[in-house]
Amino acid sequence: MSTPSATPPDSSPVISSTLSAGGPTDEPILSRAAIAGHPLHPMLIHFPVAALIGLVGADAAYVWNGDPFWARAGLWLSGVGALGGWGASVAGLVDLITVGRIRRLVTAWGHALIAVMMLSMASMNWMLRLGGEPGANVVPWGAGITGVTAAFIALAAYLGGRLVYEHAVAVDTSD
């Protein structure tokens, strides 16, 4: 005889199964950097990530055809990505420092460390492009740094996803 599931029908099946199976956490870990219960870090991180991933395409287009438009676009994308990323990281840092259950997660520290390395590379890439001819430093340094930054983004995104889906960080599972 099977027993009915205790998970609410509107909740995520991944989070619900993790929580009901006695996974890494018994209840969600709510964000302290939030507006009306909505965590700021996940709200703010999408635009910088999109800009830095768009930079991969802009650099590839510049390398392929040498059009200065792509170098100028890369300058703007790298600036938006670096500055926006540092802004979004402040909200993540507030949660990391002020929420003890997040501080105890190795995944959270790995996510933060990778994010700082990624933002440092993105900032260096932007500084490299500022001043002078926009395309002067795209090949090979700018494009190379862009590739490394994209790899760090992928790793940070993976770890951020683990925080959400395995540990229910900043996820309200209540009805």
Distance CA 175, CA 168 (A): 15
Domain ranges of the chain: 39-167
> pLDDT tens across 142-170, in order?
999 999 999 999 999 999 999 999 999 99
Q: Taking the C-alpha atoms of 44, 46, 52 and 57 in order, what is their torsion angle to the nearest 10 degrees?
A: -160
Helices (H), the chain: 13-20, 40-44, 46-65, 68-98, 100-103, 106-129, 143-167
Distance CA 120, CA 128 (A): 12
> pLDDT tens across 81-131, in order?
999 999 999 999 999 999 999 999 999 999 999 999 999 999 999 999 998
Q: What is the pTM of this model?
A: 0.82
Q: Please report, rounded to a whole number, the percentage of residues in the chain having pLDDT higher than 70.
A: 85
